[in-house]
Homo-oligomer: A and B are copies of this chain.
Amino acid sequence: MDVMSSVVDPGAGAASERIAADLRARILMGEIAPGERIRQEEVAERLGASRIPVREALRMLSAEGLVELETNKGARVPRLDEREVEVLYRMRERIEPLALIESMPHLSESDLQRIEGIQEQIEQGVDVPTFLTLDREFHLATYAGCATDQLLASVTRLWNSTQHYRRAFMMINGPGRQWIVNAEHRLLLDALTRNDAEDAERYLVGHIRRTRMELTKHPEIFTP
C-alpha cells in the first residue's frame, strides 16, 4: 500500500474541506453534469460523514460558482445558456488581464520555468481531460504572483463556471486547431519572459476573445 493515505495529509483538518475538494474535482471532471442535483445524504454516506460538513462544503462550492443553492430545494450544478457563458467570457477578458498585470512583477524565474513546463506537456499532445487540466494550470500559474485573493477568487470562479462548456466544445469538435492555442500560449509566455506587460495583456485578451467566439459559434453545446 502507498503511504500517502495514511500520512497526516495537510487538509485533513476539516472534513468539510475534504468533501468540498471531492465534489469540486467531480464537478470539474464532468462526473456531475450541469442541471444535476446533489443530494446531501448521498454525498455524506459516500464519504462517511454526516450532512453538516456536506452543507458547509456545498456553501463553499456555491461561492466558487460550482453549485447553486435554492432554499429547501437543495444544490445543483448550474446550467448556463449561451448568453450567460458569453458574459462570463467577457468578464474573463477584463479580469484576467488585470490579474496578469498584478502577477507579472512577482513572477520568479522558476515560476516562468514551471509555466513553460506545463506548455511543453500540452504540446506533447494530450487527451481532452488532460488538456483542460493543463490549460487551467497554465493560466492560473501566470496569475500565481497575484497577491490579492479576491482577484484570484474571481478568476477561479470564472474558470469553474465555464469549465464544462469548454469541455463540451472540445469533446464535440475534437482537439482540432490545437496549434492556435499553442501559438497563443507561446506568445504569452514569451511576453512574460520579456517582462512586456502590454504584449502579455494583448495576447491574453486575444486568446480569451477567440475562445469566446469559437464557443458562441457552437450553440449545440448549450442544448442538452
Q: Which residues between 135 and 158 of chain A lie within 8 Å of chain B, taking CB atoms?
A: 147-148, 150-151, 154, 157-158
Q: Which residues from chain B contact A98 at a C-beta distance below 8 Å?
A: 87, 90-91, 94
Q: Which residues from chain B contact A161 at a C-beta distance below 8 Å?
A: 150
A180 touches B (CB below 8 Å)? no
A95 touches B (CB below 8 Å)? yes
What 1/0 flags go to A58-74 for Cβ under 8 Å of B?
Answer: 01101101000001100
**Of B84, B148, B157, which contacts A88 at CB under 8 A?**
B148
Q: Which residues from chain B contact A56 at a C-beta distance below 8 Å?
A: 55, 59
**Of B63, B71, B102, B158, which contacts A63 at CB under 8 A?**
B63
A13 touches B (CB below 8 Å)? yes
Chain A interface residue count, Cβ-Cβ cutoff 8 angstroms:
31
Q: Which residues from chain B contact A95 at a C-beta distance below 8 Å?
A: 91, 94-95
Copies of the polypeptide in the assembly = 2
A202 touches B (CB below 8 Å)? no
Q: Which residues between 75 and 99 of chain A lie within 8 Å of chain B, taking CB atoms?
A: 83-84, 87-88, 90-91, 94-95, 98
Nearest B residue to A102, CB-CB: B87
A14 touches B (CB below 8 Å)? yes
Q: Which residues from chain B contact A87 at a C-beta distance below 8 Å?
A: 98, 102, 147-148, 150-151
Nearest B residue to A154, CB-CB: B154
A17 touches B (CB below 8 Å)? yes
Residues of A within 8 A of B (CB): 13-14, 17, 52, 55-56, 59-60, 62-63, 65, 71-72, 83-84, 87-88, 90-91, 94-95, 98, 102, 147-148, 150-151, 154, 157-158, 161
Q: 24 interchain pairs (CB within 8 A)?
A: A59-B60, A59-B63, A62-B63, A63-B63, A65-B150, A84-B147, A84-B148, A84-B150, A87-B98, A87-B147, A87-B148, A88-B148, A88-B150, A90-B98, A91-B95, A91-B98, A91-B150, A91-B151, A91-B154, A94-B94, A94-B98, A150-B157, A150-B161, A154-B154
